[in-house]
Chains A and B, each alone.
Chain A
Amino acid sequence: MNKIISLEQAMDLVHDGMTVMIPGFMGVGTPETLVDGLVEKGLQDLFVICTDTARPNVGIGKLIVNGQVKKLYASHIGTNPETGRMMNEGLIDVTLIPQGTLAERIRAGGAGLGGFLTPTGVGTVVEEGKQKIVVDGKDYLLELPLRADVALIRGSKVDKKGNIWYNAATRNFNTVMATAAKTVIVEAQELVEVGEIDPNNVMTPGIFVDYIVKGDA
């Protein structure tokens, strides 16, 4: 089965109002070519799940500035003043989630779990509306799984079956997001033949990946 498609074909798979997971930490590990595709296509009312909104001209920040995000789950928005401004003006519905909880909710979504218990956020605003469960005398919050319609991820090296190797700190949310969406599209920084990535070094098995787009960078 051929997984390699063009950027235009990839963008045909994403529609207004969809829930989209996009990895990256301040833009590191973010699929910039796919994000640029979303900007170019001008999709509206997206529900974006990401760890941060980077800077106005970097990564997910570009979608924010372009007014394409209606709802946002993120752990940090402070480096992109536009996100805060649009949140205060009621243009984006922002939910802030502790970074570890966000990662684990996505992992749970991709791993078939009904949720998990974490001590993070107990006694803070994060616990509002959540079930508190006591285990061995200690309070935990029940956090629920997250899934998306589409995950747009980025691999440093991707083979034609979709097996992925990530360089350095680009792995961040890529591996969990690859497991938690109906459709997973990977931007390949470098596209290689099957067999060129040693199975020992595959970080996301190709079975999670539906489509591959060759990136610009």
Chain B
Amino acid sequence: MDVRERIARRVAKEFKDGDIVNLGIGMPTLVANYIPEGVEIIFQSENGFVGMGPAPLEGNEDPDIVNAGGLPVSVLKGAAYFDSATSFGIIRGGHVDATVLGALQVDEVGNLANWMIPGKLVPGMGGAMDLVVGAKKVILAMEHTAKGRPKILKECTLPLTARKEVNLIVTEMGVFDITPGGMFLREIAPDVTVEQIREATEADFIVSEHLKVMEE
């Protein structure tokens, strides 16, 4: 199983039946492919609807229906459209149960940087700042390191998306909870050791008393 699939599969197990979930673009989008049987999730798309379905078959794309990445999607029975002010009212107002986002950097108190690299990449924050502040649970789906360098840091160095809002980090090496009491390693991938995770992580973390093997 490749790294991205392992991460997406694990994130997909975090949701409860009936949750309203917003998936960011990139790897988070893959999460929709692995929702367990019997769990119904209502996906919110920041550009203005709930009830997002999968990509349509080729030839059936509707130019009026795209996801937050601008790609064609479908809507399921029971979907609803709204304007952007309502969409972000839903997001800021705490009506989204969870958001799944990527990260450039995250730190041990839950600060997140995922919208710009000064001097290099300035795409804009889009809806990310509202999502991270407004969603009840903020889940990061991210590769543990970038070119061998840690992305989970003691303190973010890039411009922040939000402060102390991240609740859960899922990487190919493990699952971390970020709580007011610190950052906890809750699950570990079957093919790594705690020592290896420490080497790949700049942040200090506590190994949970209930550490278990990461579900796949």
Contacts and interface: CB of A to CB of B under 8 A. Distances in A.
Interface of A: 25-29, 51-52, 74-79, 84, 87, 96, 98-101, 103-104, 106-107, 118-126, 156, 166-176, 203
B12 interface: no
Contacts of A51: 84
Contacts of B121: 78
Interface in B130-172: 130, 133-134, 159-164
A104 B85 CA distance: 6
Shortest 3 CB-CB contacts between residues of A and residues of B: A78-B123, A100-B88, A26-B70
A88 to B, nearest CB: 8
B130 A99 contact: yes
Contacts of A74: 124
Contacts of A175: 83, 85
Given A52-B126, A76-B125, A98-B125, A173 B84 contact: yes
Interface string B18-50: 000000000000000000000000000111110
Contact of B83 (A28, A118, A176): A176
Given A25-B47, A75-B127, A169 B85 contact: no
20 contacts: A25-B70, A27-B70, A29-B64, A51-B84, A52-B124, A84-B123, A96-B125, A99-B125, A99-B127, A100-B127, A100-B134, A103-B85, A124-B129, A166-B81, A169-B48, A169-B66, A172-B47, A172-B48, A173-B84, A176-B84
Interface of B: 45-49, 62-66, 70, 75, 81-85, 87-89, 91-92, 121-130, 133-134, 159-164
Contacts of B63: 28
A78 to B, nearest CB: 3
Contacts of A26: 47, 66, 70
Contacts of B47: 25-26, 28, 169, 172
Contacts of A96: 122, 124-125
B124 A156 contact: no
Contacts of A29: 64
Given A75-B127, A121-B129, A168 B64 contact: yes
Contacts of A27: 70
Contacts of B126: 52, 75-76, 78, 98-99
Given A51-B84, A99-B84, A122-B163, A170 B92 contact: no
A126 B163 CA distance: 12
A19 B132 CA distance: 31
B124 A101 contact: no
B130 A174 contact: no
